Structure 1
């Protein structure tokens, strides 16, 4: 008794085999679909590709800050996957560029940020935009970038 047209509740083919040991003893074996090496490889490769894609899409390769005195500041982030995100802030909206500090756990972390003017009150700050969030450079590097920014801001 072997029938290859039987299916399980999901529609997958199953096999049924009946083995007669004696008149009073029979063994019925129901076997599900076999797990092939091909399907194992496909699933494994799929998981690895998804993990790699998740890593590449979120890993920032480099960040850049382009300051043009008369126009504004362009912020760019390039990801390992090749994707790029770019934003531009007009010079008229920038109040200042400062080095700020934050306490994180038991450490003090320094970061460079742009202070955005409040449209209603030009002397107030409406928001703070942190720079180099992924690369997290140390204070020595931030001071060099800060000096460069201040030189250009002073000219405009």
Structure 2
């Protein structure tokens, strides 16, 4: 089963949820954000460089022009390697665990695996974010000494921040798999 719908994040920007059912006990969810806009990058870069050139023109200070160029280039590299997440994925495998991955615009990927024995539940939680209440999907982890107690909360899809309608779709599918484990 493969579904392809368009949803929005909490800011109203479009995101895409792809659901893949590999089998009755394995499902994968991918949330993709729009790619980095080359047009926006060009506008910001040209604006900074034009201002730097204007300052250079009047002051004849080459250090200012050089540092503006270097700071802009380093800033863009930092943004695409550490900040801009292109897509996040959640792989749920019955009786094995959950794998959470984030892929950055540079291609760098961070993956975390949580064993099913450590998972108490997957829930939709709410939080106050700026001036609004938002919903987020999270994994509740069991306390190793007392399994009925939640030791920590692992939020999912932190970068894409999907709205509730998208989270409900993922939540229901995850609960189908988790119910088979118990």
Alignment size in residue pairs: 121
Could you say which residue in structure 2 is the equivalent of 1:85? 110
Unaligned runs of 5+ in 1: 1-33
Paired with 2:101 and 2:134, the residues of 1 have a C-alpha distance of 22
Higher helix share: 2
Aligned counterpart, 2:41: none
Inter-partner Cα distance in structure 2 for 1:105 and 1:61: 23
Q: Which has the larger radius of gyration?
A: 1
Q: Which of 98-107 and 111-120 deviates more?
A: 98-107
Let me know the Cα RMSD of the aligned residues: 1.8
C-alpha deviation, 1:43, in angstroms: 4.1
Q: Does 1:63 align with 2:82?
A: no
Distance of 2:140 and 2:67 partners within structure 1? 49
Pick which of 49-58 and 76-85 moved more.
49-58
Higher relative contact order (CA 8 A, sep 6+): 2
Residue aligning to 1:54: 78
Aligned counterparts of 2:130 and 2:121: Cα–Cα separation in 1: 28
TM-score, normalised to structure 1, is 0.72
The answer to whether structure 1 residue 45 and structure 2 residue 99 are counterparts is no
Q: In the aligned structure 2, how far is the partner of 1:45 from the partner of 1:108?
A: 40
State the distance in 1 between where 2:157 and 2:75 align: 25
Distance 1:47 1:151 in 2: 49
**Does residue 1:104 correspond to 2:134, yes or no?**
no
After superposition, where does 1:4-153 map in structure 2 within 5 Å?
43-57=67-81, 58-153=83-178
Q: Which residue of 2 aligns with 1:19?
A: none
